[in-house]
Chains A and B, each alone.
Chain A
Amino acid sequence: GEDVEQSLFLSVREGDSSVINCTYTDSSSTYLYWYKQEPGAGLQLLTYIFSNMDMKQDQRLTVLLNKKDKHLSLRIADTQTGDSAIYFCAEITPGEAGGYNKLIFGAGTRLAVHP
């Protein structure tokens, strides 16, 4: 079945780059996503990448996709204390009903940014 795995915790110093890694299993996923969740809040869509791309850059965020290894990463440049949150990787996969897709999420990586 579908499975998305992430490391659970990452600690970085303010101003450094953060790299959060994810592996997924569904090779037919057309889109892969990164969501951010702050304490007690819902999920904020940060960025996503189409499966025919290797890289996508959006301001401080860089997404790298290695389809061969089914590996996705999110790099945050110049990490700030406001970036402290849980980051979820997700893949889109066909749902039970034809023509409809669903998201499969990893367990999330807690990013802690310290001075």
Chain B
Amino acid sequence: EAEVAQSPRYKITEKSQAVAFWCDPISGHATLYWYRQILGQGPELLVQFQDESVVDDSQLPKDRFSAERLKGVDSTLKIQPAELGDSAMYLCASSFSTSGNEQFFGPGTRLTVL
């Protein structure tokens, strides 16, 4: 069964360091999403790609976060420098349709910033 892959599953870093997360969507899914889920809350969209283009990054803290999907397949989310408040689960999702009606999620990367 096709799944969204993410790595690493867990990341511990110190504040002011740089971290990067990787996501490989389900094959054939043109739309890719990065969500942040703070403990005790629901996921919130950070950035949305259609193929290699960003179509929504209105909630991405652009002073420290960046995201790319250079070949329109896998994607990387980077934080530099990390802050204590960035501790959260970072979830990647993908959908076949641009309407995003069925989004499938990966297992997530749990980030802890010390």
Contact = CB atoms under 8 A, between A and B. Distances in A.
How many chain A residues sit at the interface, stated as a range, is 20 to 34
B50 interface: yes
Given A4-B42, A43-B43, A102 B100 contact: yes
Contacts of A99: 98
Contact of A100 (B4, B98, B102): B98
A90 B43 CA distance: 10
A103 interface: yes
Contacts of A41: 107-108
A42 B37 CA distance: 10
Interface string A70-103: 0000000000000000001010100111011111
A12 interface: no
A107 B41 contact: yes
Interface residues of B, number: 29
Contacts of B4: 42
B48 A100 contact: yes
Contacts of B45: 95, 102-103
Nearest to A31: B101
Interface in B54-102: 55-56, 58, 91, 93, 98-102
A45 interface: yes
B103 interface: yes
Nearest to A88: B42
Contacts of B98: 99-100
A69 B105 CA distance: 29
Contact of A43 (B50, B91, B110): B91
A111 to B, nearest CB: 15
Nearest to B101: A31
A103 B107 contact: no
Interface of A: 4, 30-31, 35, 40-45, 48, 88, 90, 92, 95-97, 99-103, 105-108
